[in-house]
Structure 1
Amino acid sequence: MPPCVTVLIIGAGCRGKRYSYFAVHFPNRMKVVGVADPRAFARNDLQKIHSIDKKNVFNDWKVATERERFADAVIIATPDRLHKAPAIAFANKGYHILLEKPMAVTPEDCKEIVSVCAANNVMLAVCHVLRYYPASLKIKELLDAGAIGDICHIQHLEPVGFWHFAHSFVRGNWRNEAESTFSLLAKSCHDIDLINFWMGDKRCLKVSSFGSLSHFTNEHKPKGAASRCLDCSVEQTCPYSAKKIYLQRAEKGYFNWPVSVVCNSGVCDIEAVTEALRSGPYGRCVYECDNDVVSNQVVNMEFEGGATAAFTMMAFTERLGTRKTTIYGTKGELFCAGGGPVQVFDFCTREKTAYPTNKSAFIPSHLMGHDGADYYLMDSFISALTIFYWTI
């Protein structure tokens, strides 16, 4: 029987916790044996879920690197600017690594991580989870099969969602470039990666890009607005009201993301949400935050052979995550919105065909993020490690 892969979780936030659930649903394939997080409630929660020995629960990942290696792999899901140091430290200890995107916030740091992993002969995988998205894979399959001939142009949109942008990039962890990174890297490195993935072996030769922070600034603050939504007399007419985004959800009994992010004590109920909005960052007026990342950006790319691509990241959209892709080829046109189906119009037959995406018969609810791509990512990483250990 193949060995069960043991894993250490570094960063017990939304992504680290989500990936760790693979062990709950597939205990014969993966076991979480350690966790590191500076927040007591976060690491204690993960310890309870996975019955982790208290000697392997750390408030600082550096302490774990002072020990002899006690797991096969590490999942690093720390904030963006805190990826490089643990990746290098654990690679030097011989841990295989699943690293949350973005890999790092500078090209130099990315190169150093790759170099250290190669020197230590450890596996490195980056969580470009949309590579495992069923619709993305179906698009790639059709392109490689020549369904639309040679690619001439890719048009791709990521609609961030009006309230999602306010949550993550105005009030939240990714609002300030000095603390995290710029919004295109934090939010849309998935999409730039997908465009390169679909283009195949054609290298990008030229890039131009423009973006701006066009609305969430003090000069756009409505007359009479308060510094906090709970005290605001014009809150009811504001689409970015923290009461609408968090408190109204909580009042309906919904305490998952994004409400769960607001409660930093580990207790998540109406009282905790209300107090968090009264005193924490998520209750601030969106026009009085220390945000500086752009809310809309375009990227134009030219590839070998003359093919081009145009990408748009847009904050101000009704829906979040329902990406729209149109690919123009010499023999047809391909279109996909969200999870599909993928539609192909054939220039020769003048017929349009809808191709369903391939989805597993069973995906646990905890791993349904990105339309099941969270599951496929973890399944692929654990399978790769299992094969590695089975063949040595």
Structure 2
Amino acid sequence: MNFQATPSSSGIILSSVVLNSIKEDHANGGTEDFLSSVSSFNANGVHEECVHYTKAPKHRKVSAVIIGAGNRGKNYAGYALEFPDLFEIVAVAEPREQARKSIQVTHALLDENCFEGWEALVKKKKFADCALVCTKDQDHVGPSVALAKLGYHILLEKPMASTEEDCRLIYETCQETKVLLAVCHMLRYHPPVKKLKELIDSDIIGDVVNINQIEPIGFFHFAHSYVRGNWRNTESSTFSLLAKCCHDVDLIAFLMGSQKCVKVSSFGSLHHFRKENKPAGASSRCLECKVEALCPYSAKKVYLDPKPSKPRWPMNAVCDIEDPPEAYLTRLTESVRTGRYGKCVYGADNNVCDNQVVNFEFSDGATATLTMIAFSEHVCEKKAQIYGTRGQLMWDEAKGHVVEHYDFLTKTTKIHTCEMSPPGWDHAGADYYMMKAFVEAVATGNNSLIVTGPKVSLETHLLTFAAEHSRTSGKIVNTNKDPRWIVN
């Protein structure tokens, strides 16, 4: 199937005709790429590399239970809807009735396989191949340990857990039980990141001297998730670097390859969303506030303006219901009027950093920096710059699935267009590739497909904990000397 893609400054745009053709080709089965030979041009009309959109290979059907039916759980479960011959959901454990019922209806589950909590599910003998653990961060350890002891292979939402001790317990349990563990550091499976790693390993930019990684959370996203939302307080969740950027730390370690981190330092604070920054005349709730029009973080602007016609993020985190549009808007408005998502951002019980930088030093003297910032236009559109002795690489997620390579010798730039992602998947399609790898690994027993296994994931989680320890203690952490930061 050959066709021309529409030029776009942010990547390749496929027409609905092309997408339908892709789906038809996929439906016909087979193990070959079902999008091949795509000719694309960038905004300047420069021809770029061909890209391939790889379908899941044929293998036995894998069965799974979902622990936690929030946005992440629903997203991963979507793999069963897209590939029903390869993957199926057979049970759900979720305390919220509506979320539990939604999964039950979508995946046609028996009543006996729908549980109000994971504790009830693990009382039964193992009845599926694997489990998707997508509970809140602080609730990862209980189900993960119990399911591993029953022999379930585990896909675990990041972070592994909210404490060092719980992360180590999950790691040790999975090692002892010999089950597969894939932590949802989806970036390692993401085509642009795989291209970065491929180019680095080819020595095309020489020795890597520095990596600069930026995580722009987005001004309204931070207000939603880390001021009003589930990740706002270290007592009820965890610190923001772990909750938001453990996969960025993992990305840096992945790109550095065999070079191990030996030192970490970090600085950061809750700079803005504090009571002393509350504007004069501001109310405790946005819908009653006289100065709401001047506030970019207003709940009215985030959730109600323009009026949403159906549940979508972040509105579905405020009011996850299946009512018709009119009723949904009424329920959403009432939730904003009375619930925590309608509170003033300067009067919440949040205490996590809204800005943080982390510095890493590696065994060969190379360095890396990570910046986590709340105050950005772009929402979670990462930017990675890799500086080598013979060239540099740049990946800007806002520009789509492309990696830029500048060569010092020829003084030229080459654009590498990476494998495309199927539409509808979170994290620019990275979730699809992660699910594809995990399900195939469970089906075939080939654990090499999982590149975010227990040891490497624990190592990079410990680096994240080390960074936070540095921030709170004001000390440089020697990660290669203290057993606290070492995985045996």
Which runs of 5 or more structure 2 residues have no equivalent in the other structure? 1-57, 447-488
CA RMSD of aligned residues (A): 1.5
Secondary structure at 1:143's aligned position in 2?
A: helix
Is 1:261 matched up with 2:322? no
Pair 131,266 (structure 1): closer, same or farther in 2 beyond 3 Å? same
How many residue pairs get matched?
385
C-alpha deviation, 1:107, in angstroms: 2.3
- Cα separation, 2, equivalents of 1:327 and 1:4: 40
Q: Identity of aligned pairs, percent?
A: 49
Pair 80,359 (structure 1): closer, same or farther in 2 beyond 3 Å? same
- Cα separation, 1, equivalents of 2:153 and 2:168: 17
Q: What is the match of residue 159 of structure 2?
A: 102
Is 1:346 matched up with 2:407? yes
Secondary structure at 1:157's aligned position in 2?
A: strand
C-alpha deviation, 1:322, in angstroms: 1.6
Secondary structure at 1:152's aligned position in 2?
A: strand
Q: How does 1:1-392 map to 2 (within 5 A)?
A: 2-249=59-306, 251-264=307-320, 267=323, 269-338=328-397, 339-360=400-421, 363-365=422-424, 368-388=425-445
Pair 302,352 (structure 1): closer, same or farther in 2 beyond 3 Å? same
C-alpha deviation, 1:252, in angstroms: 4.5
- Cα separation, 2, equivalents of 1:283 and 1:52: 35
Task: State whether residues 25 and 364 of structure 1, in contact with CA within 8 Å, keep that contact through their aligned partners in structure 2.
Answer: no
- Cα separation, 1, equivalents of 2:97 and 2:209: 52
Q: What is the match of residue 483 of structure 2?
A: none
Code of the residue aligned with 1:352 in structure 2: it is T
C-alpha deviation, 1:364, in angstroms: 4.6
- Cα separation, 2, equivalents of 1:117 and 1:294: 32
Secondary structure at 2:280's aligned position in 1?
A: coil
Deviations 1:250-290 (CA, angstroms, capped at 9, x unpaired): x1525311111110555471101101001111111000100
Code of the residue aligned with 2:348 in structure 1: it is C
- Cα separation, 1, equivalents of 2:334 and 2:382: 35
Code of the residue aligned with 2:367 in structure 1: it is T
- Cα separation, 2, equivalents of 1:28 and 1:364: 19
C-alpha deviation, 1:105, in angstroms: 1.8
Q: Which runs of 4+ in 1 moved over 4 A?
A: 264-268
- Cα separation, 1, equivalents of 2:423 and 2:440: 17
Which runs of 5 or more structure 1 residues have no equivalent in the other structure? none
- Cα separation, 2, equivalents of 1:364 and 1:134: 14
C-alpha deviation, 1:374, in angstroms: 0.9
Task: State whether residues 311 and 321 of structure 2, in contact with CA within 8 Å, keep that contact through their aligned partners in structure 1.
Answer: no
- Cα separation, 2, equivalents of 1:306 and 1:9: 43
- Cα separation, 2, equivalents of 1:254 and 1:356: 34
Task: State whether residues 101 and 127 of structure 1, in contact with CA within 8 Å, keep that contact through their aligned partners in structure 2.
Answer: yes
Task: State whether residues 91 and 117 of structure 1, in contact with CA within 8 Å, keep that contact through their aligned partners in structure 2.
Answer: yes
State which drifts further: 263-272 or 16-25: 263-272
C-alpha deviation, 1:109, in angstroms: 1.6
- Cα separation, 2, equivalents of 1:113 and 1:165: 29
Secondary structure at 1:154's aligned position in 2?
A: strand
- Cα separation, 2, equivalents of 1:276 and 1:318: 26
Secondary structure at 1:305's aligned position in 2?
A: coil
Deviations 1:316-348 (CA, angstroms, capped at 9, x unpaired): 001112211111111011112113421111111
Q: TM-score, normalised by structure 1?
A: 0.96
C-alpha deviation, 1:311, in angstroms: 0.7
Secondary structure at 1:12's aligned position in 2?
A: coil
Secondary structure at 2:332's aligned position in 1?
A: helix
- Cα separation, 2, equivalents of 1:59 and 1:255: 23
Deviations 1:116-170 (CA, angstroms, capped at 9, x unpaired): 1122121111000111222111111111111210000111111000000000000
